[in-house]
Amino acid sequence: MKCPHCKVKAFIRSSEALSELTRKQYYQCSNIYCGHTFTAMQSISETIVPSNCPDPKINIPLSPNSKRMSQAY
Ligand SMILES: [Zn+2]
């Protein structure tokens, strides 16, 4: 991810799981003249192809693109 201020690449320095589907990531800008640190959220949003070993506690909506692709066959 790029730093929103100086547009230089920022690196993940740490992350923590908030749930099975969401992680909070801690970023640090690699531009030493900028020095911005910030957090971002990473979350699993859609299933494209369902798992062959599904966890019943996990509920991820099916991608609309997945349905569109399956109708093409
Ligand atoms: Zn920056």
Q: Considering the domain boundaries, does residue 64 fall inside one?
A: yes
> 27: domain range?
10-71
Sheet of strand 22-29, all strands in order from the earlier edge strand to the far edge: 10-17, 22-29, 37-43
Confidence of residue 69 (pLDDT cuts 50, 70, 90): low
Q: Residue 9 in contact with residue 3, Cβ under 8 Å?
A: yes
Number of domains in the chain: 1
For the entire predicted model, the pTM comes to 0.76
Rounded distance from Cα 24 to ligand 1 centre (Å): 19
Question: Which residues, other chains included, contact 14 with Cβ-Cβ below 8 Å and sequence gap of 6+?
Answer: 25, 26
Cα-to-centroid distance, 50 and ligand 1 (Å) = 38
Cα(68) to centroid(ligand 1), Å: 40
| Ligand 1 geometric centre to CA of 62 (Å) | 36
| 1, part of any domain | no
Q: Is the pLDDT of residue 66 over 60?
A: yes
Band (pLDDT 50/70/90 cuts) for residue 67 is low
Residue 4 lies in a domain: no
pLDDT at 36 over 60: yes
Q: How far is CA 41 from CA 15, 44, 71, in A?
A: 9, 10, 33
> Mean pLDDT over all residues of the chain?
93
Measured between alpha carbons, how far is 60 from 56 in angstroms, rounded to an integer? 11
pLDDT higher at 57 or 70: 57
Compute the distance from residue 28 Cα to the ligand 1 centre, in Å. 8
